[in-house]
Amino acid sequence: MDYIKICDSKLNVEELTDLVSSSSCGAISVFIGTTRETFENKKVLQLQYEAYIPMAEKVLKQICEDIRQKWKVENIAIYHRLGTVPVKEASIVIATSSPHRAASLEATHFAIDAVKAKVPIWKKEIYVSDEPQWKENTECAWKKS
């Protein structure tokens, strides 16, 4: 089963691990992306995320399909938060389950890289004493080299 969600509420890691848990699986891998307090020597107050939700959900579903073509996984959950995400809180949680650890570890790694490269979610960094800045993921497909 694939679980995707784009929401504006605090993400709950336990909810995702419960969703992907299966009696046929011996592994659950989880990635949690959080807001850090500094970026390039600037003090970060919070991040703000925006998305065109229908398009973002479509791309997340495609990422799940891509994972299933590459690895034997049972369940996949990808939740991304929109709106304000304070320091130390999660903006994304990805969880995968599989019978053995290698598949879930590799699938989870692939998932975060694919989300950052493909999903149309935009991030603005809000600093304590500098002007806010929209940030582009270095991995994004539309970034010019």
Beta carbons of 64 and 4 less than 8 angstroms apart: yes
Q: Supply the pLDDT for residue 143.
A: 54
Put simply, whether the predicted model's pTM sits higher than 0.85 gets the answer yes
Q: What mean pLDDT is predicted for residues 13-20? A: 97
Q: Supply the pLDDT for residue 141.
A: 55
Place of tokens 């939740």: 79
Residue 49, sorted as left (phi over 0), alpha (psi -120 to 50) or beta, turns out to be: beta
pLDDT for residue 140 is more than 60: no
The token duo for 145 is: 């080299």
All domains in the chain, ordered by first residue: 2-35+47-81+90-121 (3.90.1170.40)
pLDDT for residue 139 is more than 60: no
Element (H, E) at 102: helix 101-118
Cα end-to-end distance, the chain, whole Å: 36
Q: What mean pLDDT is predicted for residues 47-76? A: 97
Under DSSP, the state recorded for 18 is H
